[in-house]
């Protein structure tokens, strides 16, 4: 043992010297050896590869990806099943065509914005039949509501009840969404890349259309990439009962016409290759939203200022303008087949929401054909300026108010695990599961009066799972 | 609702490849009885062709000078010298000096005078072993210590021959790579029949992917090595052996005994900074027979041994 230790690397070290000498003598400088093999450590100079080290796209190939996502919120809230299929074609001259079709089916209950109370609360909303809409879907007790017919006018309304002490949920939530996205990326000149895209989605009560364009330019021997992008989106909100007038009293009456929203987004980014194993990315995005941004299904409780008892329910009201700014920084560090991803994002908008997101994930190769990627994400946001759990009846109405839990202040943690397995050169199976847990950030508000046991915070926990298969040919 | 600029947006917006992969431009030719491949990872096809032609010319120059099969080669003049001193040029002298160092370093296991043994050992998968007398008759012609090196002069004993088989191709790979690297900054791969070297990682920082049959023969999908710098060579050939009385005689010959190495792995693949270093190490490891793995471990080499 002593002997072999003493001799360790003896042959290799001597060889190294005499080889360098050989090439000096024969007219090529020894320096070339070290220059052209910039890291002589054996581990670095050759390593067994995990198949996931390969780039995702290879010229002249077409990839079909199909997956299905299951999403389930705790407490019998929203459930969704989302199958999707996409097709990506990489041409020989480095252009990429992509098309993705997604179908969502959502059912379940969602908080309607009203505060809980010590006795049961009845909420009245229009029925679908009043609009001559689909007979089967808004009418049955399956959604938890009851059709009430006014014996005099014959008007049909939907009533649903929230149990005492429970957060009121609108349980008639059924929707399907179909979305199509088309993308095209092509190199313009060496180092310049243009991307164009179109997206459209259709729901029974919501249509969205958007177009995007971006340009990316490589600099410094492709170590720096600057990109600029623009996206324009036009949305139409058209609930079957129309769009309610802000702060009008919740009722079974038909409401106003459909409403539009336009979103203009600009993004500027820089990607910098720091070393051959390390990549940094920064971007800034600006968004300007104008038009109807109110949620037509959300209401607020108007409560007695001393007892907290609900007196009436008003439809919510949100500003018609929203300006958003987001800064993003990310780092990607590769050590062999291991890739560590770290990123942070700061967001601010004119509604007063500030948020930070911190994300970390680690890509871990397993054997030659598999990987797993555990990840954790932390998110914190402050509440919108006009967010409130209720409106006291003795105070004049503000300009805007919403009790939508998505505008509340909260923290969220997402734990995720994804993984993939290459069955062969062409077929990959992959799966993802993530658990999302939300909690109120900051002080927990209560209703006026002695109502500490009524929980106003409506945040949710959710679990999603996805599984898919990619076929490349 | 909106898929917004997926390339850039959002915390999950990172895509894995930094740059999309282009196929390197490949230049193929035959030299030294091997398929040769020069790959240039760059957009300039003209430059790639130029480099390919340069590589081909250099490979043929080395072959024409150091082949023992070509009658007019400088080596053939040495091998025909029959005991008289032969004047050689600086390059040949450097290679002979290198071989001398390897001989000393390996205690005689690496010996470029052992090629004559191939006259009697034919590894064709058969059971035809040479006779004892045949081996004994050749042994006086083997042994680098019988060679005299002077200043630009080499003297062999009558009947001795030099064979650059274990050195020439590796030397050519290193030379060609270094020549090309002087002409371009584009990443280059030089592969002469499986002995190969790269100038550095590919343009996008990724490794060159090389199929190596001998690394995992039972699992073709795992038979790929990634190499970002340095060289890889393979010694041994699973198809070249003799089989007699249940003993498998590998085609690796021990110059000291004139017989095949017993207990040698079927193949050894070694990664090192240069092709010459990798080649010598893999040859020496082979010659160590059953101790091949221990030798490689002690030398702290990245290696794949197939038994």
Phi, psi torsion values for A420, nearest 5 degrees: -145, 155
Chain A, residues 408-467, CB within 8 A of chain B, namely 424-425
pLDDT band at A101 (very low <50, low <70, confident <90, very high): very high
Q: Smallest CA–CA separation between B193 and chain A, in Å? A: 18
In terms of domains, do A157 and A16 share one? no
Chain A, residues 312-341, CB within 8 A of chain B, namely 328, 330, 332, 339, 341
Contacts of B173 in chain A (CB under 8 A): none
Query: What's the pLDDT at B133?
Result: 87
ipTM: 0.79
* Pairing mode, strands A391-392 and A299-303: parallel
In terms of domains, do A28 and A112 share one? no
Contacts of B196 in chain A (CB under 8 A): none
Element (H, E) at A243: none
Phi, psi torsion values for A165, nearest 5 degrees: 70, -5
Query: What's the pLDDT at B213?
Result: 62
In terms of domains, do A343 and A427 share one? yes
Using a CB–CB cutoff of 8 Å, tell me whether A1 touches chain B: no
In terms of domains, do A143 and A7 share one? no
Nearest-angstrom CA–CA distance, B108 and B145: 9
pLDDT band at A425 (very low <50, low <70, confident <90, very high): confident
Question: Hey, are the CB atoms on A190 and B91 less than 8 Å from each other?
Answer: no
> CA-nearest residue of chain A to B184?
A36
| CA A66 to each of CA A56, A60, A429, A470, B282: distance values in angstroms, whole numbers, following the listed order | 16, 20, 10, 6, 47
Average pLDDT over residues B29-48: 89
Question: Hey, are the CB atoms on B11 and A14 less than 8 Å from each other?
Answer: no
A196 assigned to some structural domain: yes
Interface test with A, best of B18, B283, B303, B305 (most A CBs within 10 A): B18
Asked if A252 and A122 touch (Cβ cutoff 8 Å), the reply is no
In terms of domains, do A21 and A62 share one? no
> With helix as H, strand as E and coil as C, how does chain B read?
CCCCCCCCCCCCCCCCCCCCCCCCEEEEEEECCEEEEEEECCCCHHHHHHHHHHHHHHHHHHHHHHCCCCCCCHHHHHHCCCCCCEECCHHHHHHHHHHHHHHHHCCCCCCCCHHHHHHCCCCCCCCCCCCHHHHHHHHHHCCHHHCEEECCEEECCCCCCCCHHHCHHHHHHHHHHHHHHHHCCCCEEEEECCEEEECCCCCCCCCEEEECCCCCCCCHHHCEEEECCEEEEEECCCCCEEEECCEEEECCEECCCCEECCCCCCEEEEEECCHHHHHHHHHHHHHCHHHHHHHHHHCCCEEEEEC
Interface test with B, best of A21, A45, A378 (most B CBs within 10 A): A45
| B107 Cβ neighbours under 8 A, 6+ residues apart | none
Burial class, A304, CB count within 10 angstroms (exposed 0-12 / middle 13-18 / buried 19+): middle
Overall residue count recorded for chain B in this entry: 307
Query: What's the pLDDT at B187?
Result: 93
User: What percentage of chain A has pLDDT greater than the value 90?
Assistant: 55
What's the total number of domains in chain B? 1
> CA-nearest residue of chain B to A57?
B20
pLDDT tens profile A2-55: 333 344 577 888 888 888 888 877 765 433 333 323 322 223 333 445 666 655
What's the total number of domains in chain A? 2
| A302 Cβ neighbours under 8 A, 6+ residues apart | A310, A311, A312, A313, A314, A390, A391, A392, A393
pLDDT tens profile B92-124: 999 999 999 999 989 899 999 998 888 888 877
Interface test with B, best of A4, A11, A35 (most B CBs within 10 A): A11
Average pLDDT over residues A152-168: 83
Query: What's the pLDDT at B239?
Result: 60
Q: Does the pLDDT value for residue A133 go beyond 60?
A: no
Nearest-angstrom CA–CA distance, A212 and B8: 12
Average pLDDT over residues B223-246: 76
Nearest-angstrom CA–CA distance, B91 and B69: 19
Using a CB–CB cutoff of 8 Å, tell me whether A246 touches chain B: no
In terms of domains, do A12 and A146 share one? no
> CA-nearest residue of chain A to B208?
A46
Query: By three-state DSSP, how is residue A23 classified?
Result: helix
What is the domain range of residue B166? 24-307
pLDDT band at A139 (very low <50, low <70, confident <90, very high): very low
Interface test with B, best of A3, A21, A32, A46 (most B CBs within 10 A): A46
Provide the CB-side half-sphere exposure for A220 (13 A, CA): 10
Contacts of B21 in chain A (CB under 8 A): 55, 57-59
**Greater model confidence, A335 or B144:** B144
Nearest CB to B227; choose among A12, A45, A425: A45
Query: By three-state DSSP, how is residue A50 classified?
Result: coil
A50 assigned to some structural domain: no
Cα–Cα–Cα angle for A256, A260, A266, nearest 5°?
Answer: 160
Query: What's the pLDDT at A8?
Result: 53
Question: Hey, are the CB atoms on B16 and A23 less than 8 Å from each other?
Answer: no
Query: What's the pLDDT at B143?
Result: 92
| A236 Cβ neighbours under 8 A, 6+ residues apart | A206, A207, A208, A258, A259, A260, A261
Average pLDDT over residues B47-54: 91
pLDDT band at A453 (very low <50, low <70, confident <90, very high): confident
Average pLDDT over residues B159-178: 92
Asked if A270 and A218 touch (Cβ cutoff 8 Å), the reply is no
**Greater model confidence, A35 or B273:** B273
Q: Does the pLDDT value for residue B307 go beyond 70?
A: yes
In terms of domains, do A350 and A299 share one? yes
Q: Which two tokens stand for residue A454?
A: 């009524």
Nearest-angstrom CA–CA distance, A3 and A236: 81
B257 assigned to some structural domain: yes
B14 assigned to some structural domain: no
What is the domain range of residue A27? 2-45
Asked if B135 and B258 touch (Cβ cutoff 8 Å), the reply is yes
Average pLDDT over residues A45-66: 66
Chain A, residues 53-72, CB within 8 A of chain B, namely 53-59
A52 assigned to some structural domain: no
Report the Cα B16 to chain-centroid distance in Å: 35
Nearest CB to B298; choose among A4, A21, A222: A4
Question: Hey, are the CB atoms on A46 and B226 less than 8 Å from each other?
Answer: yes
**Greater model confidence, B249 or A235:** A235
Asked if B113 and B162 touch (Cβ cutoff 8 Å), the reply is yes
Q: Does the pLDDT value for residue B19 go beyond 70?
A: no
In terms of domains, do A12 and A96 share one? no
Count other C-beta atoms under 10 Å from residue B151's C-beta.
6
Question: Hey, are the CB atoms on A11 and B105 less than 8 Å from each other?
Answer: yes
A54-58, B43-47, B107-111: which has the minimum mean pLDDT? A54-58
Q: Which two tokens stand for residue A126?
A: 């229009």
Q: Where are the beta strands (DSSP E) in A152-258?
A: 156-162, 169-187, 192-203, 206-219, 224-237
Q: Does the pLDDT value for residue A209 go beyond 90?
A: yes
Nearest-angstrom CA–CA distance, A267 and A360: 23
pLDDT band at A260 (very low <50, low <70, confident <90, very high): very high
A174-183, B5-14, B292-301: which has the minimum mean pLDDT? B5-14
Q: Is the pTM here over 0.95, yes or no?
A: no
Question: Hey, are the CB atoms on B102 and A357 less than 8 Å from each other?
Answer: no
Query: What's the pLDDT at A23?
Result: 82
In terms of domains, do A373 and A231 share one? yes
Average pLDDT over residues A388-402: 93
In terms of domains, do A41 and A181 share one? no
Using a CB–CB cutoff of 8 Å, tell me whether A49 touches chain B: yes
In terms of domains, do A34 and A66 share one? no
In terms of domains, do A92 and A26 share one? no
pLDDT band at B129 (very low <50, low <70, confident <90, very high): confident
Count of pairs with CB atoms under 8 A, one residue in A, one in B: 237
Average pLDDT over residues A196-220: 92
Asked if A313 and A250 touch (Cβ cutoff 8 Å), the reply is yes
B1 assigned to some structural domain: no
Query: What's the pLDDT at A51?
Result: 63
Interface test with A, best of B298, B301, B303, B304 (most A CBs within 10 A): B298
**Greater model confidence, A48 or A405:** A405
| A52 Cβ neighbours under 8 A, 6+ residues apart | A337, A363, A365, A371, A420, A422
Q: What is the CATH number of the domain that holds B189?
A: 3.10.520.10
B129 assigned to some structural domain: yes
Query: What's the pLDDT at B217?
Result: 53
CA-derived radius of gyration, chain A = 29
Question: Hey, are the CB atoms on A190 and B299 less than 8 Å from each other?
Answer: no
* Average of per-residue pLDDT values in chain B: 83
B189 assigned to some structural domain: yes
Q: Does the pLDDT value for residue A350 go beyond 90?
A: yes
Query: What's the pLDDT at B223?
Result: 59
Question: Hey, are the CB atoms on A40 and B273 less than 8 Å from each other?
Answer: yes
Q: Where are the beta strands (DSSP E) in A32-155?
A: 47-48, 61-73, 79-90, 96-111, 121-126, 145-149
Query: What's the pLDDT at A132?
Result: 43
Asked if B39 and B191 touch (Cβ cutoff 8 Å), the reply is yes
Termini Cα distance of chain A: 53
Nearest CB to A43; choose among B171, B204, B302: B302
């Amino acid at each position: 043992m002593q002997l072999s230790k003493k001799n360790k690397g003896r042959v290799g070290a001597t060889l190294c010297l005499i080889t360098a000498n050989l090439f000096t003598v024969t007219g090529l400088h020894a320096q070339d050896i070290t220059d052209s093999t910039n890291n002589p450590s054996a581990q670095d100079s050759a390593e067994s590869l995990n198949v996931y080290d390969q780039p995702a796209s290879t010229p002249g190939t077409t990839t079909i990806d199909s997956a299905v996502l299951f999403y389930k919120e705790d407490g019998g809230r929203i459930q969704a099943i989302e199958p999707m299929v996409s097709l990506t074609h990489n041409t020989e001259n480095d252009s990429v065509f992509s098309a993705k079709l997604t179908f969502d089916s959502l059912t379940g209950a969602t908080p309607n914005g009203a505060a809980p109370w010590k006795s049961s609360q009845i909420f009245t909303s229009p029925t679908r039949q009043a609009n001559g809409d689909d007979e089967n879907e808004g009418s049955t007790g399956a959604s938890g509501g009851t059709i009430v017919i006014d014996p005099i006018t014959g008007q049909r309304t939907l009533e649903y009840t929230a149990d005492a002490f429970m957060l009121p949920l609108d349980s008639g939530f059924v929707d399907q969404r179909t979305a199509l996205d088309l993308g095209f990326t092509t190199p313009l000149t060496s180092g310049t890349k243009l991307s164009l895209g179109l997206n459209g989605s259709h729901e029974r009560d919501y249509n969205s259309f958007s177009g995007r364009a971006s340009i990316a330019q490589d600099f410094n021997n492709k170590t720096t990439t600057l990109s600029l992008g623009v996206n324009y989106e036009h949305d139409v909100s058209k609930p079957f009962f129309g769009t309610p007038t802000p702060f009008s009293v919740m009722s079974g009456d038909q409401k106003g016409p459909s409403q539009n929203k336009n979103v203009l987004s600009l993004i500027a980014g820089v990607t910098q290759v720091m070393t051959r194993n390390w990549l940094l990315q920064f971007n800034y995005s600006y968004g300007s939203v104008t038009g109807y941004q109110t949620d037509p299904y959300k209401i607020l409780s108007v409560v007695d200022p001393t007892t907290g008892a609900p007196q009436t329910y008003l439809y919510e009201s949100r500003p018609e303008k929203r300006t958003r700014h987001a800064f993003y920084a990310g780092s990607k560090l590769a050590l062999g087949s291991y890739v560590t991803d770290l990123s942070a994002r700061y967001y601010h908008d004119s509604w007063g929401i500030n948020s930070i997101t911190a994300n970390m994930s680690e890509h871990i190769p397993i054997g030659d054909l598999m990987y797993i990627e555990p990840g954790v994400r932390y998110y914190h946001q402050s509440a919108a300026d006009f967010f409130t759990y209720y409106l006291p009846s003795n105070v004049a109405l503000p300009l805007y108010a919403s009790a939508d839990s998505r505008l509340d202040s909260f923290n969220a943690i997402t734990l995720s695990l994804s993984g993939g397995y290459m069955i062969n050169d062409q077929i990959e199976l992959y799966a993802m599961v993530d658990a999302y847990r939300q909690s109120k950030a900051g002080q927990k508000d209560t209703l006026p009066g002695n109502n500490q046991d009524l929980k106003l915070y409506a945040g949710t926990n959710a679990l999603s799972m996805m599984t898919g298969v990619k076929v490349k040919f | 609702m909106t898929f917004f600029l997926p390339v850039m947006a959002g915390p999950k917006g990172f895509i894995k490849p930094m740059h999309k992969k282009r196929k390197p431009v490949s230049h193929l030719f035959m030299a030294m009885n091997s398929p040769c491949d020069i790959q240039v990872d760059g957009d300039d096809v003209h430059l790639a062709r130029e480099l390919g032609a340069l590589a081909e010319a250099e490979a043929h120059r080395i072959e024409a000078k150091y082949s023992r099969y070509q009658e007019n080669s400088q080596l053939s003049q040495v091998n025909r010298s029959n005991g008289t001193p032969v004047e050689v040029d600086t390059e040949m002298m450097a290679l002979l000096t290198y071989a001398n160092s390897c001989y000393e370093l390996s205690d005689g296991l690496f010996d470029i005078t052992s090629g004559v043994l191939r006259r009697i050992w034919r590894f064709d998968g058969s059971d035809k072993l040479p006779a004892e007398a045949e081996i004994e008759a050749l042994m006086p012609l083997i042994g680098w210590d019988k060679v005299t090196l002077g200043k630009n002069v080499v003297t062999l004993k009558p009947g001795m021959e030099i064979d650059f088989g274990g050195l020439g191709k590796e030397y050519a790979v290193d030379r060609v790579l270094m020549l090309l690297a002087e002409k371009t900054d584009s990443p280059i791969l030089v592969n002469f029949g499986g002995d190969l070297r790269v100038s550095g990682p590919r343009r996008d920082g990724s490794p060159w992917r090389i199929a190596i049959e001998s690394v995992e023969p039972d699992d073709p999908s795992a038979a790929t090595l990634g190499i970002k710098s340095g060289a890889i060579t393979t010694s041994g050939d699973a198809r070249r052996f003799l089989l007699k009385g249940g003993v498998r005689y590998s085609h690796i010959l021990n110059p000291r005994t004139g017989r095949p190495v017993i207990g040698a792995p079927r193949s050894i693949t070694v990664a090192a900074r240069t092709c010459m270093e990798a080649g010598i190490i893999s040859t020496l490891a082979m010659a160590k027979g059953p101790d091949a793995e221990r030798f490689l471990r002690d030398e702290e080499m990245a290696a794949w041994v197939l038994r």
